[in-house]
Structure 1
């Protein structure tokens, strides 16, 4: 007989999925607790991450005094916006790692000058991008993403 999953287990799984980009379990726990303490749901955070914060930005620009109310107030919006920033940082780091691995592979077949010309950067920048590509490849493999 299977153990039934209670609502708290489901909620924990939702938070783990939404905050998967955080990677570190203790950071996920701290961020999750902060959201829960201020009434922010995983769905609200997931929606903001999906739209890159466009919804909260539009609400903030609306000029309405109560624009933050649908999100749980100004503190909730600040927390959600911080998570959008954290996720954006994760995406930038991942894209940079992928670019590094790709440029390193290009350098196996083409000159740095040729690659630089195609990318629109200097030859020195090509070497800088490709540096530490093995380490970056490992970071991509560890990836922390959510199934949105």
Structure 2
């Protein structure tokens, strides 16, 4: 990413909201996507910059933060932008974790139709009580449909 100098005049053309909707698709509520997009715009970031960080899983952001350069955040738009980007990575990770939990719950519920809770627990390496807890949680979309690195 290249640093975008801040200017007081603002941009003549706001970013396409459709781009933000796609980049922030892991946020299930439209209001959450709009609020996040507004924060990114205020920090001087556009959808392609946020998408680049999500697509690489934060690798470049992490490498910069872990490196010796005291101005590590500048290529990402500064410290505020870096903090927002890190928070968005966390939001994506939470969405993926939620999706994985739903899949696990659906699978465990079906396993319990054919096998005892003790057998399922032993095979999955969890307690019998946890088997019941996981199986009851359910598969409750909406979930993120595709990860950023699979988007066309």
With normalisation by structure 2, the TM-score equals 0.82
Give 2:144's aligned residue: 144
The one-character-per-residue Cα deviations of 1:33-56 (angstroms, maximum 9, x if unpaired) are 110111112122112212221210
Report the secondary structure of 1:21's partner residue. coil
Return the alpha-carbon distance in structure 2 between the equivalents of residues 68 and 132 of structure 1.
40
Question: For the residues of structure 2 that align with 1:81 and 1:54, how far apart are their CA atoms?
Answer: 11
Q: Does 1:73 align with 2:75?
A: no
Q: Is the 8 A contact 2:96 2:144 kept in 1?
A: no
Aligned residues: 136
TM-score, reference length from structure 1: 0.84
How far off is 1:11 after superposition? 2.2
1:131 to 122, 131, 136: 136
Name the SS for the 1:20 alignment partner: coil
Runs of 4+ in 1 over 6 A off after TM superposition: none
**CA displacement, residues 13-68 of structure 1 (integer Å, 9 cap, x when unaligned):** 11100111111111111110110111112122112212221210100111112211
Root-mean-square deviation (Å) = 1.6
Q: Which runs of 5+ in 1 are unaligned?
A: 1-6
The match for 2:21 is 16
Q: Distance in 1 between matches of 2:130 and 2:137?
A: 13
Asked if 1:27 corresponds to 2:29, the answer is no
- Structure with higher helix content: 1
Distance 2:137 2:94 in 1: 19
Deviations 1:87-144 (A, max 9, x none): 11111111111100000011111111111111001111101110132xxx232xx323
Please tell me whether residue 53 in structure 1 is matched to residue 58 in structure 2. Answer: yes
Q: Give matches, 1:43-122, under 5 Å.
A: 43-122=48-127
